């Protein structure tokens, strides 16, 4: 899972152009539970692969499909795609995109407050 998480972080940093957004999780409790629900839904897809593969297959296939591939994909999707889905569902603090000290960049213009400037 560590290799998948590392590749997920690299993918995230490349797709968001190194954007670091402090305070993007400072929202109300319902949005926090929404972020957790999205994380669990994404993780459940790969955990189901672990559960659904029977133990009657050969050892090589067992290691490959019950351990290596699901753990890699779980780490990759959690670190690469969770922020994207949270942003699209509106579970991220839109003020954090505008008022941060690092970039002043709005990633998703739809989630930005009125009057925010999109810098490319």
Residue 45 lies in a domain: yes
Residue 117 lies in a domain: no
Answer whether 105's CB lies under 8 Å from 97's CB. Answer: yes
Q: What is the pLDDT of residues 6-38, one digit of tens each?
A: 999 888 888 777 666 667 778 889 988 998 999
Per-residue confidence (pLDDT) for residue 100, from 0 to 100: 45
Find the domain containing 97 and state its range.
2-111
Share of the chain above pLDDT 70, in %: 74
Q: How far apart are CA 65 and CA 115, in angstroms?
A: 49
Q: Cβ contacts of residue 42 below 8 Å, gap of 6+?
A: 77, 78, 81, 82, 85
In the chain, how many domains are there?
A: 1
Residue 120 lies in a domain: no
Per-residue confidence (pLDDT) for residue 12, from 0 to 100: 84
pTM of the predicted model as reported, rounded to 2 decimal places: 0.68
Residue 116 lies in a domain: no
Residue 81 lies in a domain: yes
Answer whether 23's CB lies under 8 Å from 100's CB. Answer: yes
pLDDT at 110 over 60: no
């Amino acid at each position: 899972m560590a290799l998948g998480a590392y590749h997920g972080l690299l993918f995230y940093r490349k797709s968001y152009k190194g954007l670091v957004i402090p305070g993007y999780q400072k929202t109300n409790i319902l949005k926090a539970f929404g972020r957790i629900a999205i994380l669990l839904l994404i993780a459940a897809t790969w955990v189901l692969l672990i559960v659904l593969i029977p133990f009657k297959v050969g050892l090589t296939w067992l290691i490959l499909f019950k351990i290596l591939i699901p753990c890699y994909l779980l780490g990759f999707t959690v670190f690469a795609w969770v922020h994207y889905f949270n942003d699209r569902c509106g579970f991220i603090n839109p003020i954090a995109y505008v008022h941060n000290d690092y970039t002043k960049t709005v990633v998703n213009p739809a989630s930005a407050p009125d009057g925010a400037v999109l810098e490319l």
